[in-house]
Structure 1
């Protein structure tokens, strides 16, 4: 049974601006950090021996209802400030989900595995949403592909399925990539915005350009 909003107001004093609940009986901050999955953390509050996510309680106390899905706008699941919470569809929430930051671009990770013969195989893994809104992965072997190709693939996918926040971090990583600078210089691209919104969609595989 879901707790009522009236009951929440009886139990807690809400600081919506800072995303904190205080217990009325003790004056103490309610809840603590818990891990959900491998790398995701949320704030959780125990009420009558049941656990609830803090962001859902704060949203309900402010707006008067429990939405099906709540999105953390900045991608930080521990940031429960009311201005960082919004009622969102499941697909919008997936588009804005957090990815582990990296020097190659958000959602691009570097991996090393040994084959049965003892050889070291290195590859980039790109996380993206498929046409059904499910999280998918594409691997780019460093023996066959450049980092720019992995980044270009990610940007193509994310321009359709991810938020501007993710695109910005990816563009910044690409601008720091010497391969990208070489590509722009060869094609005389001066405006990053024009390049990222038009030309990239027809520029894969980029190694044919870079190695020409």
Structure 2
């Protein structure tokens, strides 16, 4: 949970739900799970009853459960559950389809991103938008590594994608023109004869746009 994955806690590729059409809007079940406020299922009270969150280490651990949580179950279920899980790390590393890795925990048969559950436990409410990991490590769930952020904020704190062919964010090669293209989001900044000129145009356009120091750097 503090940024490392032990040999017994291997990364899993969770089956995150795909987008579904609802009326005139495209809403993803994944976003519904992540937002929490839309779900209206897991509350801070419920989360706090099930999980201990240590803001200094970022760890989530299962709490011991009382017999009342096993009403209607076979005799001994409570004891067996507590012997197996109480005090143990909750969840595991989950690799998403985009290659990013986060800690995830299954609660009441639903999969949640651990950093959002941690926020819920600590502050008593779901984040109003996304949670950005300041150091870019989705497994580092210490509270001082969190900030509430929009999608734009989140993108401005991302490191260089491994798929980058140029090693520079916002710069690509145009075979049809035989030139380097610079761009910022959907804004075309121009085409250039040299890579250095294209990089300079991109860097100039970034000024005052809120990009963090780690943006565009190799992970």
Residue 60 (structure 2) aligned to one of 21, 26, 38:
21
Alignment of 1:31-180 (within 5 A): 31-67=91-127, 68-100=129-161, 107=169, 128-130=184-186, 145-166=193-214, 169=217
Per-residue CA deviation, residues 61-90 of structure 1 (Å, 9 max, x unaligned), is 112211122121222222211101112233
- Structure number having the greater helix percentage: 1
Scaled by the length of structure 1, what TM-score is found? 0.58
Contact map agreement 2:91 2:105 (CA 8 A) in 1:
yes
* Counterparts of 2:215 and 2:178, CA distance in 1: 25
Count residues with an aligned counterpart.
156
Structure 2 CA distance for partners of 1:39 and 1:167, relative to 1, 3 Å: closer
SS of match in other structure, 1:164? coil
Gaps of 5+ in 1: 116-120, 132-136, 171-212
Higher RCO (CA < 8 A, seq sep 6+): 2
**Cα distance in 2, alignment partners of residues 41 and 138 from structure 1:** 32
Worse-superposed segment, 51-60 or 63-72: 63-72
CA distance in 2, matches of 1:111, 1:33: 35
Q: CA deviation at 1:20?
A: 1.1
The alignment's TM-score, normalised by the length of structure 2, stands at 0.57
Following the alignment from structure 1 to structure 2, what is the Cα–Cα distance between the partners of residues 169 and 99?
5
SS class of match (1:65): coil
